[in-house]
Amino acid sequence: MTALVKLYDAGLGIIIQHPSGVLYTNQTCGHCCLHPEVEGVFVPFDAEESWLRLNAYFEGPRYGGTGAMHGLDDEDAAFIESVLRDGRVGVPLVVDRSRLKESHEAWVHVLIEGEVDPFPLVSGFGPYPRRGVLTWPNSD
């Protein structure tokens, strides 16, 4: 049996895809309440303001709580990246544009571009870019 960690109240963080033997899940996609899973290592960010901004975006007029169930677009990706830049999460990452249709509220496929010197929040996960999932508490 594979270990499963439910991130329902873990705040904003990234699941770095890595063979760990541990699956992570979260309640995602607004009112749809999906529970996707991915194997990896979870790194929380001290960024409550950032995930509150993300929730406000997905609860707002663009999606109205539907969670972007049909995937994200470039406008969504640019907004998410701006929130991460403003929040200085400490991990250089971008939204994975090749996986926008698989992404939705609270479950966004990202690419980790490398490590930040001189004091990286995470290290040793190269080669980069490395796939991951940005996740936060669902607005539902």
pTM reported for the whole predicted model: 0.94
Nearest in space to 17 (alpha carbons), one of 38, 44, 43, 45: 38
Mean pLDDT of the chain: 91
Res. 1 pLDDT band, cuts 50 70 90: low
Kindly report, residue by residue over 35-77, the tens digit of the pLDDT: 999 999 999 988 889 989 999 999 999 998 888 999 999 999 9
Confidence of residue 33 (pLDDT cuts 50, 70, 90): confident
**Lowest-pLDDT range, 7-16, 17-26, 88-97, 104-113?**
88-97
Report the candidate in 118, 138, 122, 97 with the shortest Cα–Cα distance to residue 8: 138
135: closest CA among 57, 63, 29, 64?
A: 29
Q: Look at 93 and 91; give whichever has higher pLDDT.
A: 93
When pLDDT is averaged across residues 85-98 and rounded to a whole number, the result is 89
- Bond preceding residue 19 cis, omega within 30 of 0: no
Q: How confident is the model at residue 118 (pLDDT cuts 50, 70, 90)?
A: low
